[in-house]
A and B are shown apart, each in its own frame.
Chain A
Amino acid sequence: MSLIDVREVIKHYGGIRALDGCTMAFEEGAINGLIGPNGSGKTTLFNVLTGYERPDGGAVHLQGEDITAFTPDKVFARGVGRTFQLTRVFQRLTVVENLHVAAQRTGGFRAELSRWSSGSERARAKEVLDFVGLTRLAAEVAGNLSYGQQKLLEFAAIMIAEPRVILLDEPAGGVNPTLLSHLASRIQALNAEGTTFVVVEHDMEFVMGLCHRVCVMHQGRALCAGNPEEVRADPMVLEAYLGTDMRPMEHADVEVR
């Protein structure tokens, strides 16, 4: 059964149709890949899913509930966390504080008046930092971290809230290979525990190796979906990436990049 259903979503920016009747579904419990050429509407779709943008038409359902008009905080409260293409951490807060921002939004206003670091929350923050391997940077101000470390921190900050779905927008962009394989292993470990992922990525090797299922977007619509091998072999995908002349392609993962 699909966890997120996107139905005929339309989003215009001036004359540009970023999403043009996009319909797709993301599987529960899977690592879903979302690929497509630049400007095919992947990030816009993320923005619509998480309430950062209101679509001009269509609907988004999360396990049957219509979340189209939800604001970002409400979407998050439903268990959907996301990262951003250009990493967004709270630059002037420490690593630990970054984690606690996301960790705490349950229990109404009374809970907000309590300290942000209760004993159990501290233990949980430590656990998550251990998980992504940032423990020794716990007291560092987030803005001082390297770009790759910030990506991990952003991921950890989502993770600590234990969302059902995590949307990752280009997690591999600008991250060195070692850190990337680390990130991939973390994604798989979390997925094994039941978290659903949707990953937007241009690194084909990363996507094809990690994802159970890949959706392809082109010009604001869903082009096709399937398991990595099928998508890799699909001529429509090549056409979308390379334009109308369908050149034969031997190493999809190399050329697609």
Chain B
Amino acid sequence: MLVLQGIVDGILAGGLYALMGSGLTLVFGVMEVINFAQGIIVVLGAYLTYVFSTHIGVDPLVTLLITIPIMFALGYGVYALLLRPIKRDRVIMSLLVMYAVAVVIEGCLDIIFGGTLVQVHAAYSTSSIHVAGLEFSDLYLLAFGLSAVLLAVLYVILYRTKFGRSLRATTQNPTAAKLVGIDVDRVSATTLGIGVGLGAAGGMLFGMTESFNASSSYDLISRLLVIVILGGFGSVWGAMVAAIIMLVVEDVVAVVWSPVWGQTVFYLVLAAVLMFRPQGLFGRLAVRAQ
């Protein structure tokens, strides 16, 4: 039963991590930018929710209507101002720039909010449903549900809209996309906006499920990167599956063994998988086969 509960917890938390990780992997898939700032962006989203819900008294869910547009604009602006000018060594240069952006945001958050751990509270924060002896926390159910909805929206955008087609074309071949008249810069900026927006939505949920401060971003980004590598870089579906697998493994190990080892096993799974599939579960090797 303990194991079953661990699996349930893992799946629910996995949904949340899938949401946070999907932004990272999407951005990478489209423009080969490793958004190292995704961790701090989740935290920023959490802080925005915290400010709006605690100081203004809005329900955390409603704050999404404000935070997602703000974060979308942030992502769009970061691309337009900082990433678009990069012409050479894009992979590493954009990583370093995003790293620096993360450092700046972290510094700002730390100065504004200090190091105290905070948490977003809502009426449903502590309630839960019991089914067949298993506990389903309302909060995690909400997180899972909202992740599912947002990821479904993302799916529709990617596969059912003209923008999604441009975006997938850009993913596969930016030069060819440019030649057929796709404004690659605009698509990239919008994608970073979406990625950051997804991160912020994840942040709202993260802020309710855990207490956080600015340095929480490092733990987050390392987990998100692991999920994204395991799923195969650039594969949104891979990230979702990997998130759920990883969190289930972590939670099961945490309940049967100890939470400390849950975290460690999380990484050991990565190492083990990569021994046999260096490209991740759903990824393709970055090899130029002519």
Q: Do chains A and B touch in the complex (CB under 8 A)?
A: yes
Nearest residue in A to B288 (C-beta to C-beta)?
A88
Encoded as 1 (CB less than 8 Å from any A CB) or 0, chain B from 278 to 290 comes to: 0000000000011
Nearest residue in A to B287 (C-beta to C-beta)?
A52
Total interface residues on B, CB under 8 Å, equals 2
What separation, in Å, do the CA atoms of A86 and B290 have in the docked complex? Answer: 7
Nearest residue in A to B290 (C-beta to C-beta)?
A84
Total interface residues on A, CB under 8 Å, equals 7
Query: Is A104 close to B, CB under 8 A?
Result: no
What separation, in Å, do the CA atoms of A53 and B290 have in the docked complex? Answer: 11
Mostly helix, strand, loop or mixed at chain B's interface? loop
User: How far apart are B286's CB and chain A's nearest CB, in angstroms?
Assistant: 15
What separation, in Å, do the CA atoms of A30 and B18 have in the docked complex? Answer: 59
Query: Is A191 close to B, CB under 8 A?
Result: no
Query: Is A43 close to B, CB under 8 A?
Result: yes
CB interface residues, B 245-290, toward A, < 8 Å: 289-290
Query: Is A135 close to B, CB under 8 A?
Result: no
Nearest residue in B to A84 (C-beta to C-beta)?
B290
A84 proximity list for chain B (CB < 8 A): 290
Query: Is A71 close to B, CB under 8 A?
Result: no
User: How far apart are B53's CB and chain A's nearest CB, in angstroms?
Assistant: 50
What separation, in Å, do the CA atoms of A94 and B132 have in the docked complex? Answer: 71
User: How far apart are A19's CB and chain B's nearest CB, in angstroms?
Assistant: 14
User: How far apart are B52's CB and chain A's nearest CB, in angstroms?
Assistant: 50
Query: Is A149 close to B, CB under 8 A?
Result: no
B289 proximity list for chain A (CB < 8 A): 47, 52-53
B290 proximity list for chain A (CB < 8 A): 43, 47, 52, 84-86
A43 proximity list for chain B (CB < 8 A): 290
Encoded as 1 (CB less than 8 Å from any B CB) or 0, chain A from 34 to 55 comes to: 0000000001000100001100
What separation, in Å, do the CA atoms of A122 and B172 have in the docked complex? Answer: 43
Nearest residue in B to A46 (C-beta to C-beta)?
B290
What separation, in Å, do the CA atoms of A86 and B289 have in the docked complex? Answer: 11
CB interface residues, A 72-89, toward B, < 8 Å: 84-86
What separation, in Å, do the CA atoms of A47 and B288 have in the docked complex? Answer: 12
Nearest residue in B to A86 (C-beta to C-beta)?
B290
User: How far apart are A77's CB and chain B's nearest CB, in angstroms?
Assistant: 21
Encoded as 1 (CB less than 8 Å from any B CB) or 0, chain A from 111 to 123 comes to: 0000000000000
What separation, in Å, do the CA atoms of A85 and B288 have in the docked complex? Answer: 13
User: How far apart are A150's CB and chain B's nearest CB, in angstroms?
Assistant: 15
User: How far apart are B179's CB and chain A's nearest CB, in angstroms?
Assistant: 17
User: How far apart are A168's CB and chain B's nearest CB, in angstroms?
Assistant: 14
What separation, in Å, do the CA atoms of A47 and B290 have in the docked complex? Answer: 9
User: How far apart are B88's CB and chain A's nearest CB, in angstroms?
Assistant: 11
What separation, in Å, do the CA atoms of A52 and B287 have in the docked complex? Answer: 11
What separation, in Å, do the CA atoms of A84 and B289 have in the docked complex? Answer: 10
A85 proximity list for chain B (CB < 8 A): 290
User: How far apart are B285's CB and chain A's nearest CB, in angstroms?
Assistant: 13
What separation, in Å, do the CA atoms of A85 and B289 have in the docked complex? Answer: 11
What separation, in Å, do the CA atoms of A52 and B290 have in the docked complex? Answer: 10
Nearest residue in B to A85 (C-beta to C-beta)?
B290
What separation, in Å, do the CA atoms of A79 and B289 have in the docked complex? Answer: 22
Encoded as 1 (CB less than 8 Å from any A CB) or 0, chain B from 133 to 172 comes to: 0000000000000000000000000000000000000000
Encoded as 1 (CB less than 8 Å from any A CB) or 0, chain B from 35 to 73 comes to: 000000000000000000000000000000000000000
What separation, in Å, do the CA atoms of A53 and B285 have in the docked complex? Answer: 14
Nearest residue in B to A13 (C-beta to C-beta)?
B289
What separation, in Å, do the CA atoms of A43 and B289 have in the docked complex? Answer: 10
What separation, in Å, do the CA atoms of A43 and B290 have in the docked complex? Answer: 9
What separation, in Å, do the CA atoms of A249 and B290 have in the docked complex? Answer: 33
User: How far apart are B192's CB and chain A's nearest CB, in angstroms?
Assistant: 29
What separation, in Å, do the CA atoms of A47 and B289 have in the docked complex? Answer: 9
User: How far apart are B86's CB and chain A's nearest CB, in angstroms?
Assistant: 18
What separation, in Å, do the CA atoms of A49 and B206 have in the docked complex? Answer: 53
User: How far apart are B282's CB and chain A's nearest CB, in angstroms?
Assistant: 16
A86 proximity list for chain B (CB < 8 A): 290
B: which residues have CB within 8 A of A? 289-290
Please give 6 more A-B residue pairs, beta carbons under 8 A apart, in addition to A43-B290, A47-B289, A85-B290.
Answer: A47-B290, A52-B289, A52-B290, A53-B289, A84-B290, A86-B290
A: which residues have CB within 8 A of B? 43, 47, 52-53, 84-86
Q: Would you list 9 pairs from A and B whose C-beta atoms are within 8 A, ordered by A residue?
A: A43-B290, A47-B289, A47-B290, A52-B289, A52-B290, A53-B289, A84-B290, A85-B290, A86-B290
The list of the 5 closest CB pairs from A to B, nearest first, reads A84-B290, A85-B290, A43-B290, A86-B290, A47-B290
